[in-house]
Structure 1
């Protein structure tokens, strides 16, 4: 019922904030803070599991395995990236069924052509509106009786302009999307215009280092946004901390040197060692 829970949380009128999770440790950490949703990013999945850029190299099998593990251990519903559906409409159908079976709460599908790439890297090629409408219709049908939400994303803002992007989202709403995702608006005014123009909940990508202004969740809410994802803040922060340590170590310095490190004992606890220790105590050493 994770999709129904997401729908209920958005219907409450409060903005739904979904931090990005890029691996299982980040998921265990974010579980501590009571967010209403967690976001599984295609960009950061490709980076963390394959060490590759977000250009369509990662396929369905590269996404479904980690995302299913995340859904199993997440304390909140997962909103998961599915790129363009990983191929033909048959691939998309297979993908949607797989995500639903894995317990994903909402699946994000975009209108880029193949090969796709990160929507904040500059203008990208998008397919004709009717082709994306077909993707939305196939996705809506493929989920069957599952409550998983269909999020239709357009990447047309940077290549075709805001008006064209909004017209696309209106068409995707008519095709059966549950939420709409405007990628890479470049100002608060654009975000507000989209929120007041569209009749479905609007999702915005607050990607640190991207084209969209990074605002506080409350500020996005004032602009009319229903869902905001922060996919890059966690992995970029983790990378910065790790890079500092590796740089020191290369200079023969393994000390902490004032930089905060996460407590090892707490990480062990998050991983569930106490439960394992109790199990071994009850039944003998395993």
Structure 2
């Protein structure tokens, strides 16, 4: 099976929830794969934070994101879900985005109903497009894909703007338009979270666990019981890594050496294993004699 077929099978076999940690670069995606997670999520916020050092407010271009998508897909074998923001424009832009992400090796693309440029789903000041515009984008995305196992995830940010009922109604229209998975972003209570699969559960639903965000943190087992099929931890790893780097830099500044951290960093041998140095050496021996 190819990765799209694997993701399709994971999505539709049994009731187990799929846990997708977020990656903003290839080495993080490889760590996720090695840790045994079945799928990873390319986080738009993480890309903006790591590439620009700036917040997720729609500043990255399509090409900048696509390059990172290619690097990550090339580095791992597990299915990849990619944040496609708003499709980087209108329905015609969305067609190109879907085609290029699919060619890059993505198994599912997330598209959202914000205006371009968009903002992180847990920021204030978001704006959403008319529902008819998003419906047309979804139809265009469905038409653009080549492999029917490639999934279209339709996200709505309407909860913060028009209220919870409007968000559910939008998701219903997105399903009717052909979305394979829907994603009601930033529900604000456990009761709202429980309602999402109750109202939309015939279609797989996404939960987004954002630490210190608008949505309560709920353990994966409980999300599974609610009926969610996929849970994202989009920026947990990046935020944890940033804390570790802050601590390391403070230690270096105070101690004038890294010796105190020798037991807290990976060895050179482990870094070389993760970055496939032995495989590169074999290629050198084969083709550079």
Q: TM-score, normalised by structure 1?
A: 0.94
1:278 is aligned to: 282
Output the aligned Cα RMSD: 1.7
Hey, what's the Cα distance between the residues in 2 that align with 1:267 and 1:123?
A: 42
1:249 is aligned to: 252
1:202 positional shift: 0.2
Local SS of the residue matching 2:136: helix
Contact 2:33 2:39 in 1 (8 A): no
Contact 2:25 2:71 in 1 (8 A): no
| Deviating more after overlay: 270-279 vs 177-186 | 270-279
Hey, what's the Cα distance between the residues in 1 that align with 2:4 and 2:287?
A: 39
1:138 is aligned to: 140
5 Å matches for 1:59-208? Answer: 59-122=61-124, 124-145=126-147, 147-198=149-200, 199-208=202-211
Hey, what's the Cα distance between the residues in 2 that align with 1:254 and 1:102?
A: 42
Contact 1:207 1:232 in 2 (8 A): yes
The size of the alignment, in residue pairs, is 285
Local SS of the residue matching 1:250: helix
1:261 is aligned to: 265
Q: For residues 132-186 of structure 1, what are the alpha-carbon distances to aligned partners after superposition, in whole Å with 9 as ceiling and x for unaligned?
A: 1011001111113453100000001111111110000000000000000111112
| Deviating more after overlay: 70-79 vs 170-179 | 70-79
1:220 counterpart = 2:223: yes
Q: For residues 284 and 159 of structure 1, do their structure 2 counterparts lie closer, same or farther at Cα, with a shift above 3 Å needed? A: closer
Q: For residues 260 and 252 of structure 1, do their structure 2 counterparts lie closer, same or farther at Cα, with a shift above 3 Å needed? A: closer
1:216 positional shift: 2.2
1:99 positional shift: 0.6
Q: For residues 162 and 187 of structure 1, do their structure 2 counterparts lie closer, same or farther at Cα, with a shift above 3 Å needed? A: same
Hey, what's the Cα distance between the residues in 2 that align with 1:218 and 1:256?
A: 41
Local SS of the residue matching 2:223: helix
Hey, what's the Cα distance between the residues in 2 that align with 1:256 and 1:75?
A: 36
Contact 2:3 2:77 in 1 (8 A): no
2:242 to 225, 239, 251: 239
1:121 positional shift: 1.2
Q: For residues 253-278 of structure 1, what are the alpha-carbon distances to aligned partners after superposition, in whole Å with 9 as ceiling and x for unaligned?
A: 32354672233321210100122233
Contact 2:156 2:170 in 1 (8 A): yes
